Structure 1
Amino acid sequence: MMSGHTAPAVTGARRGMMLAIATAGFAVNFWAWALLSPLAPKLKDALHLSPLQQALLVAVPVVVGSLGRIPVGALTDRFGGRVMFPLVSLATIVPVLYLGLAGQQSLTGLLVGGFFLGIGGTAFAVGVPFVTAWFPPAKRGLAVGVFGMGMGGTAISALTTVKLVGAYGSAMPFVLTAIVLAAYALLAGLLLRDAPGRTVPAEPLGRRLAATLKLRVTWHASALYAVAFGGYVAFSVYLPAYLKTAYGLAQADAANRMAGFVLLAVVMRPIGGWLSDRIEPARVLTGTLLVVGVAALVQTFTPALAPLGTVAFLSLAAALGAGSGATFALVAQLAPANKVGSVTGVVGAAGGLGGFVPPLLMGTIYGRYGSYTIGLALLAVVAAGAVLLTATVVRRSARAVPGRA
């Protein structure tokens, strides 16, 4: 059903304001979500963690934030972003403060805090349906891509966390993030508005989720997002540990390079959405996933960072960012209006889970073989499979949908 009989005219400035506030909320919550990753090498040394334990430490918030997107996306379809953005932001404050003030003394404390820190990762499933409802179909790819730039919150964490700990102590980055989350929750509560005429589902939550799982776009986009965004998440949380181990970089240097990786991926995400508004999202995905496969294959040989290793990682960042934007351009175009949140939740969960597995796998492989080659080779193989899926099944399915934008 509709929230109103006639949707009033909406200005571009109004849309832009809602998009900006939503993007800021995504960035702030992702900043919180990624707080443990830059500190992983330091915590490993302080608590004498194994490579697998270190990987588990940074992966737990990812998996919780991923699975949590499924109910949060469905709840956003029902209650709207005006309610869900402040709610998610306020809920994230609790684990952030716990980790800053009491949770860094043991692996158990870190895992408990990291588990609930995953709440911040669910903000993505709030923003996509919120933004999609505000923009017409022809502009949704770019709009959702711009919103996706909020994943740059992980870069804020990478650039500031280690420095703040060094200057002011281990609690400072967490306390600062909690203050920003509280300020954003207040801002969102005052200024955010759901789109006029927003489609509100009437079915119960369980029935809506069941219907969502029957849609082909749900499964196609989930598989592709698991590779594109999953690859981005995996590198953004594990890259500092990888660079320190494989290349002997200092912790601060590795964190800065990870921030560069994240920033490039962030910039490329709206470009992927913009391209998808003009050509088929499947074509954009085919090209970006092909780049991912080639760059991962190059990196299996652990080339020198200057220049080949740097080129490989920058290529990965650009392709994963653009591919993530193109995936949700596909969702925005093909998902029914009253199920965008539910589809986003499932697809977002798949992307996050795609980022959960590689750090654990890389840590296990390195612990056993002393090399990352096998893990990177597996990424190349998975990317090749995704290229084949996109160029055949996904492209045919997208063209078969009546009224496809």
Structure 2
Amino acid sequence: MAHASTRQGGWLTGWDPEDEDAWHRGGHRVARRNLILSVLSEHVGFSVWTLWSVLVLFMSPKIGLGFNPGEKFLLVATPTVVGALLRLPYSYAVTRFGRRTWTVFATGILLVPTLLAVYFVQRPGTPLWVFLVIGALAGVGGGNFASSMTNITAFFPQRHQGWALGLNAGGGNLGVAAVQLIGLLVIAVAGDTHPSYLAAAYLPLIVLVSLLAAWKMDNVDAVRAAPGAQREAARDRDTWWISLLYIGTFGSFIGYGFAFGLVLQNEFGASPREAVGYTFLGPLLGSFFRPLGGWLADRMGGARVTLWNFLGMAAGTVVLIAAAGRGSFGLFVGGFTALFVLSGLGNGSTYKMIPAVFAQKAEAEITSGRDASAAFARARRLSGAVIAIAGAIGALGGAAINLVFKLSYTGAAGSGTPAFVAFLAYYALCLAVIRAVYLRRIPVPVRKAADAVKETSRV
């Protein structure tokens, strides 16, 4: 029980957040302390992960770094890919080494790509491959999300996990907007020829969060990997349908977050100051709207909310195509901001589909004679595994968006319109999948069964 928990060898043992007496006697304070530090760690991780989305806006012949648009889009895609690929091993690592131990390591290692960025980003003539290597190293910040979400579920009782996971995820996502705001501050104070100042601003923060994690966080023995859960989830077709949808929501959020500034520069000739000045608002709003997507899905059903969300994203993409054709900067920024908001909503509603889908399967197993507790335990285990897999694949969608932009701006059209048409086609595919696979199968929220597992993945 939480009040009887002890620390042995750096681990908090005997932790049981479902014990209400222990929770009220002090367990809630332990959980809240770990949540605050987890949010800080994830926030810094997201900021370093998306650091190059702002640094590339400074790269110009004025500082001796005259890369073309295709090279810049390749640079911002590189950390996205690495961060996505690290999500699965990071989600396992926290169960192997403990949250405090892993947080100290995962946060401290961010000093490496940040220091390298400070040193090289203002050195004239530095070749592209050097920046690609540094960008790949910055991708380690993208893995922090998976380990952080895995750990927080162990600290909070199910009745509080929705709030805790929503705050944890939202705090991390806000790192995308924060790094852009700091970039805007650097430009306002020092001009657009000092990108190293932006990277340097994160050095003391990384050190501070690492020290606080080592001092105040706990390893907890309740965080244990479910053997074979990810392999079992990978054999389930719903894992891949949901991952396809999450590419459209989270992939859009992180992909547009990396690319928006470059798109404004290439589509409208925006200066670094103008590009950064307009890019922070979208990720900021998307982060705040993510919990609302989960809240709406609780009441209307995840598939239904996600369907309307993709309809809105398709409409927003049509607005972008029209704005680009007319050369309307204001309409273009407005359309992109709407896409950020909708992608945030979709992140929450798509994740809410996971427990509903596996709850329905548990009901079917119970009808066939399987023990109810075993069926729901399996649903919880698979829901957690699907969260990790879909999160990784969704992040890869962000890299795909940047690569599509690269091809679009370096191709014959020389504009983003072919990319927007491709994204519109993908959103149409997502709409077809939701209607064919989920709305026909789950016409209304599966409330009774979902209640037993929904808290495990409320974000």
* Counterpart position of 1:120: 141
Partner Cα separation in structure 2 for residue 366 and residue 142 of structure 1: 41
* Counterpart position of 2:196: 171
Asked whether the equivalents of residues 92 and 225 of structure 2 are also in contact (C-alpha less than 8 Å), the reply is no
Asked whether the equivalents of residues 295 and 316 of structure 1 are also in contact (C-alpha less than 8 Å), the reply is yes
* Counterpart position of 1:102: 120
* Counterpart position of 2:178: 156
Partner Cα separation in structure 1 for residue 14 and residue 186 of structure 2: 48
Partner Cα separation in structure 1 for residue 224 and residue 316 of structure 2: 43
Which digits, 9 at most, give the CA deviation of each residue in 1:93-133, with x for residues without a partner? 11111121136522111011111110011011012222333
2:23 is the counterpart of 1:10:
yes
The Cα shift of 1:232 comes to: 0.9
Asked whether the equivalents of residues 142 and 277 of structure 1 are also in contact (C-alpha less than 8 Å), the reply is no
Structure 1 pair 220/128, CA: closer, same or farther in 2 (3 Å)? farther
The amino acid of 1:200's aligned partner reads R
* Counterpart position of 1:353: 396
The Cα shift of 1:162 comes to: 5.3
Asked whether the equivalents of residues 276 and 284 of structure 1 are also in contact (C-alpha less than 8 Å), the reply is yes
The amino acid of 1:329's aligned partner reads K
Partner Cα separation in structure 2 for residue 37 and residue 128 of structure 1: 24
Structure 1 pair 307/257, CA: closer, same or farther in 2 (3 Å)? closer
Between 267-276 and 6-15, the greater mean CA deviation after superposition = 6-15
Partner Cα separation in structure 2 for residue 289 and residue 276 of structure 1: 14
Partner Cα separation in structure 2 for residue 115 and residue 224 of structure 1: 26
Partner Cα separation in structure 2 for residue 305 and residue 194 of structure 1: 53
Equivalent residues in 2 for 1:263-282 (5 A)? 263-282=284-303
* Counterpart position of 1:198: 222
Asked whether the equivalents of residues 183 and 276 of structure 2 are also in contact (C-alpha less than 8 Å), the reply is no
The amino acid of 1:100's aligned partner reads V
Which of 63, 67, 92 does residue 85 from structure 2 map onto? Answer: 67
Partner Cα separation in structure 2 for residue 326 and residue 230 of structure 1: 14
Alignment RMSD (CA, Å): 2.9
* Counterpart position of 1:388: 432
Partner Cα separation in structure 2 for residue 318 and residue 198 of structure 1: 35
Asked whether the equivalents of residues 131 and 144 of structure 1 are also in contact (C-alpha less than 8 Å), the reply is yes
For structure 1, the 5+ residue unaligned runs are: none
The Cα shift of 1:26 comes to: 1.3
Partner Cα separation in structure 1 for residue 304 and residue 44 of structure 2: 32
Bigger radius of gyration = 2
Partner Cα separation in structure 1 for residue 110 and residue 384 of structure 2: 20
Q: Percent identity?
A: 26
2:41 is the counterpart of 1:25:
yes
Which of 124, 146, 155 does residue 134 from structure 1 map onto? Answer: 155
Partner Cα separation in structure 1 for residue 406 and residue 210 of structure 2: 36
The Cα shift of 1:233 comes to: 1.2
The Cα shift of 1:217 comes to: 4.8
2:391 is the counterpart of 1:375:
no
Aligned residues: 400
Structure 1 pair 50/174, CA: closer, same or farther in 2 (3 Å)? same
DSSP 3-state at the match of 1:47: coil
Structure 1 pair 5/268, CA: closer, same or farther in 2 (3 Å)? closer
Partner Cα separation in structure 1 for residue 333 and residue 161 of structure 2: 33
Between 326-335 and 310-319, the greater mean CA deviation after superposition = 326-335
Partner Cα separation in structure 2 for residue 98 and residue 263 of structure 1: 27
Which of 230, 233, 245 does residue 251 from structure 2 map onto? Answer: 230
Partner Cα separation in structure 2 for residue 211 and residue 178 of structure 1: 41
Partner Cα separation in structure 1 for residue 157 and residue 429 of structure 2: 33
Structure 1 pair 102/40, CA: closer, same or farther in 2 (3 Å)? closer
Q: Which has the higher contact order (CA 8 A, sep 6+)?
A: 1
Between 300-309 and 79-88, the greater mean CA deviation after superposition = 300-309
Partner Cα separation in structure 2 for residue 75 and residue 339 of structure 1: 18
Structure 1 pair 171/332, CA: closer, same or farther in 2 (3 Å)? farther
The amino acid of 1:51's aligned partner reads P
* Counterpart position of 2:53: 37
The Cα shift of 1:41 comes to: 3.1
What TM-score does the superposition give when structure 1 sets the normalisation length? 0.88
The Cα shift of 1:288 comes to: 1.5
* Counterpart position of 2:213: 188
Asked whether the equivalents of residues 106 and 144 of structure 2 are also in contact (C-alpha less than 8 Å), the reply is yes
Structure 1 pair 331/75, CA: closer, same or farther in 2 (3 Å)? farther
Between 381-390 and 10-19, the greater mean CA deviation after superposition = 10-19
Structure 1 pair 254/280, CA: closer, same or farther in 2 (3 Å)? same
DSSP 3-state at the match of 1:37: helix
